[in-house]
Amino acid sequence: MPPTARPLPARGVAAYGVRILAVAVAYFLSAEIGLELALVRGQVTPLWPPTGIALACLLLFGMRCWPGITIGAFLTNVLVGPTLPAVVAISASNTLAPVCACLVLARVGFRSDLRRLRDALALVFIAALGGMLLSATIGTWTLIAAGALDVAQFWATWSVWWTGDAMGVLVVAPVLLVAGTREWHWRVPALRWAEAVGLVVGVTAVTLVVTRLPFTMLFPVFPLLIWAALRFQHAGVAPCNLFVSVTVVLAAAHGHGPFAGLDLLSTMITLQVFNGAATLTALLLAAIISERDAAERALERAAAQLSEAVRMLEPYSLLSNGLFGRAFGRRERPAPSPEPTSGTG
């Protein structure tokens, strides 16, 4: 008879339940923040943080945490959804999209630390741009079927939904993945801390200024993001990019700064082109720098191993005077014989 599966211990069941509850709460609270940025019918936003949280939880905690995503999505949509069937369908699509993206990432050998360029590219093109097509398509058609949208509004709603989910993955997920996979070392030189503080102050000041100016001057933040990527890799560039993106989206949602007086289409184009360019620059450059540093460390380890191997071939005199000496035609000189001494009688 096949062995029977042992039930999960009570402590394991409690831990699993707490994890599911934590994922659901995180999804719901981040959705409330995302809804404050809504541009289309109070439900479709240009930045949807719960998608990034959902994907990061699946990558860090495993596929078993998907019920927390479903619960959080249902609680979010039941407050704004038109009908209960529509709420169920949208909640299912909000769960299915990150689950499918996570499965595909696993098939291509994705690493959550984002230290390789291929991992950054997979996050951008597979998880964000590709995986979120599912939730945008199902969600938009669900709203049309429920009578909440006209068919003529399909492409506008679909594009905002898709880019909002994609930006949630690109902006929010890297912060959580870096926080969950890196080993943090707080004992660093004071100069390094001063540089980090200067970076934070610079990003904050420049972002707040450019989002209040009455003309389009958003791109001065790019040198700061490049600085963060070159000096701190993902640990620095991911939170900086999150702050920049959220601040710019808030300015667009309230019509401040360069977004004052723009219609919905112009606002969306300006916003998403800037956020997409900033995020791609930050993620890909940080990944390239991480790969370069890893290659340098690998060369240093190889040099150290080679040096150790040479040292193990001691004694050096045997190599130089014996083997190497014969190879180059050298002969060892015999020791001079002692001269005979004449004795006195």
Same domain, 37 and 147: yes
* Number of folded domains that form the chain: 2
Q: Model confidence over 50-72: pLDDT tens digits?
A: 999 999 999 999 999 999 999 99
Q: Model confidence over 80-94: pLDDT tens digits?
A: 878 899 999 999 999
Amino acid, single-letter form, for residue 144: I
Same domain, 171 and 37: yes
What integer is the mean pLDDT of 199-220? 91
Calculate the alpha carbon distances from 129 to 133, 184, 239, 261 in Å. 7, 30, 21, 29
How far is 88 from 240, CA to CA, in rounded Å?
35
* 337 in a structural domain: no
Quote the mean pLDDT of the chain: 85
* 6 in a structural domain: no
Calculate the alpha carbon distances from 2 to 5, 9 in Å. 9, 21
> Residue 309 has what pLDDT?
81
Same domain, 134 and 198: no
* 334 in a structural domain: no
Same domain, 248 and 301: yes
Identify which of 193, 219, 236, 341 has the alpha carbon closest to the alpha carbon of residue 273.
Answer: 219
> Residue 196 has what pLDDT?
92
How far is 110 from 101, CA to CA, in rounded Å?
11
Q: Model confidence over 29-43: pLDDT tens digits?
A: 999 888 887 765 555
Cα distance between the two ends of the chain: 107
Same domain, 279 and 150: no
Same domain, 165 and 258: no
Same domain, 63 and 103: yes
Domain membership of residue 221 as a residue range? 190-328
Omega into 220 within 30° of 0, i.e. cis?
A: no
Going by pLDDT thresholds of 50, 70 and 90, the confidence category of residue 2 is very low
* 344 in a structural domain: no
* 258 in a structural domain: yes
Last residue of one domain, picked from the residues 144, 163, 182: 182
What integer is the mean pLDDT of 186-198? 89
Going by pLDDT thresholds of 50, 70 and 90, the confidence category of residue 335 is low
Same domain, 19 and 107: yes
* 239 in a structural domain: yes
Residues of the chain with pLDDT > 70, as a percent, come to: 86
Q: How far is CA 67 from the centre of its chain?
A: 23
Maximum distance among all Cα pairs of the chain, rounded to whole angstroms: 134
* 208 in a structural domain: yes
User: Helix, strand, coil shares of the chain as percentages rounded to 5?
Assistant: 75, 0, 25
Same domain, 118 and 198: no
Residues of the chain with pLDDT > 90, as a percent, come to: 55
> Residue 82 has what pLDDT?
81
Q: Model confidence over 290-315: pLDDT tens digits?
A: 999 989 999 989 988 888 887 777 65
Last residue of one domain, picked from the residues 147, 182, 217: 182
What integer is the mean pLDDT of 156-176? 91
Same domain, 235 and 323: yes
> Residue 35 has what pLDDT?
83
* 56 in a structural domain: yes
Of the candidate ranges 20-29, 98-107, 208-217, 333-342, the one whose mean pLDDT is the lowest: 333-342
> Residue 149 has what pLDDT?
85
Same domain, 178 and 194: no
Same domain, 38 and 177: yes
Joined tokens for residue 136: 């945008």
Going by pLDDT thresholds of 50, 70 and 90, the confidence category of residue 96 is very high
Q: Model confidence over 235-253: pLDDT tens digits?
A: 999 999 999 999 998 888 8
What integer is the mean pLDDT of 141-150? 88
Residues pairing with 64 in the sheet: none
Last residue of one domain, picked from the residues 134, 161, 182: 182
